[in-house]
């Protein structure tokens, strides 16, 4: 079927819940602002502007950095005001940051998506560790909410800088509130302490004409209704343990599922074969893309960063892209 929409136009139509001609996917969007040094240190490791020391172990999937174990800076949530120093965004060299990313995307053909890591819950966890962060939410909810609000205000200020320097189409805020099996917290806790802040961020994005997207890995089906109620346009990096078909059938005309690839199963492991990877891409596009609405493809194989590993730099991720484009060519021929 001949097409008239560019990948950018087609992707935006999907995010805006309008008719589009083919299933959008990763190459149609250009992630910008990834791993800002102010958020994770230079190159994803080192001390960030919050004072958190990040390390990037060789075993980290796709180069993921983590706060250095055992060195969390905040041990008493009630004392956060005297411990946590919120960074001054005005002193950051935004011009150099933008220049470093210039030429990495094609605005005429791609949607420009800001990847904003360490949102309110994730940032709390970087300061305290996951266990202490969850205890703080349960035992000292007032003090914890104060800090979460302060983090949100900083993120809102950051959005304004992104708009000034990147003029983005969409904004993906990363807040992993779930594990592969269950959520980190009860849904009621999410609704009381996280949902109001997500809702404010979403509305702020809309006020500035930016499409809001929530990134949450893991099994987060229990807060699907909440993500929709917050006003998000989409849920990013949806993993296959969620009921994706049910989500598309229920909300696909006003909410987009971005993901589907089985990253935690065999197709997402460094040992995945080319045949396995190609079959998984096709499964996603045929199972979730058949509706013609409410879905964009996103997937990756988790690669170990050790150069001695044969999967260094993720050759199977190139296979994912190749298969995705191959299927698109079939669909639009």
How does DSSP assign 225-287, residue by residue? HHHHHHT-SEEEEE-TTS-HHHHHHHHTTT-EEEEE--TTSGGGSTT--HHHHHHHHHHHHHH
Q: Give the pLDDT of residue 186.
A: 96
State which H helix or E strand residue 197 sits in. Answer: helix 195-207
Domains of the chain as residue ranges with CATH = 7-332 (3.20.20.210)
pLDDT of 43? 66
How many Å apart are CA 91 and CA 81, to the nearest integer?
21
Report pLDDT for 309: 46
**Among 38, 6, 39, 43, residue whose Cα is nearest residue 22:** 6
Pick out the chain residues at pLDDT < 70: 1, 34-35, 43, 58-63, 303-314
Torsion of CA 152, 154, 160, 162, to 10 degrees: -100
Note the pLDDT of residue 312. Answer: 46
DSSP state letters, 104-146: S--TTTSEEEEEE-S-HHHHHHHHH-HHHHHHHHHH-HHHHHH
pLDDT at 134: 97
How much is the pLDDT for 307?
53
Nearest one of 118, 114, 116 to 167, comparing CA atoms:
114
């Amino acid at each position: 079927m001949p097409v008239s929409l560019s990948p950018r136009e087609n992707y935006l139509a999907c995010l805006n819940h309008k008719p589009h001609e083919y299933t959008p996917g990763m190459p149609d969007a250009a992630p910008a602002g990834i791993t800002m040094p102010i958020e994770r240190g230079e190159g994803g490791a080192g001390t960030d502007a919050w004072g958190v020391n990040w390390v990037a172990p060789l075993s980290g999937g796709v180069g993921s950095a983590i706060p250095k174990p055992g060195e969390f800076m905040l041990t008493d949530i009630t004392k956060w005001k005297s411990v946590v120093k919120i960074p001054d965004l005005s002193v950051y060299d935004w011009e150099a940051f933008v220049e470093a990313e210039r030429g990495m995307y094609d605005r005429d053909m791609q949607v420009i998506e800001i990847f904003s890591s360490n949102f309110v819950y994730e940032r709390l966890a970087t300061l305290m560790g996951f266990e202490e962060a969850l205890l703080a939410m349960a035992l000292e909810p007032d003090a914890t909410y104060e800090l979460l609000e302060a983090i949100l205000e900083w993120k809102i200020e950051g959005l304004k800088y992104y708009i000034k320097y990147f003029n983005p189409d969409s904004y993906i805020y990363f807040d992993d509130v779930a594990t592969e099996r269950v959520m980190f917290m009860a849904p009621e806790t999410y609704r009381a302490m996280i949902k109001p802040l997500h809702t404010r961020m979403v509305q702020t994005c809309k006020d500035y004409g930016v499409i809001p997207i929530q990134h949450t890995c893991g099994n987060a089906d229990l807060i699907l209704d909440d993500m929709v109620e917050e006003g998000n346009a989409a849920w990013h990096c949806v993993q296959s343990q969620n009921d994706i078909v049910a989500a598309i059938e229920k909300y696909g005309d006003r909410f987009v599922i971005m993901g589907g690839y089985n990253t935690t199963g065999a197709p997402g492991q460094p040992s995945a074969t080319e045949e396995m990877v190609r079959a998984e891409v096709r499964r996603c596009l045929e199972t979730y893309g058949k509706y013609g609405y409410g879905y964009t493809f996103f997937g990756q194989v988790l690669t170990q960063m050790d150069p001695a590993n044969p999967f260094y730099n993720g050759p199977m991720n190139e296979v994912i892209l190749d298969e995705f484009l191959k299927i698109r060519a079939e669909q639009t021929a």
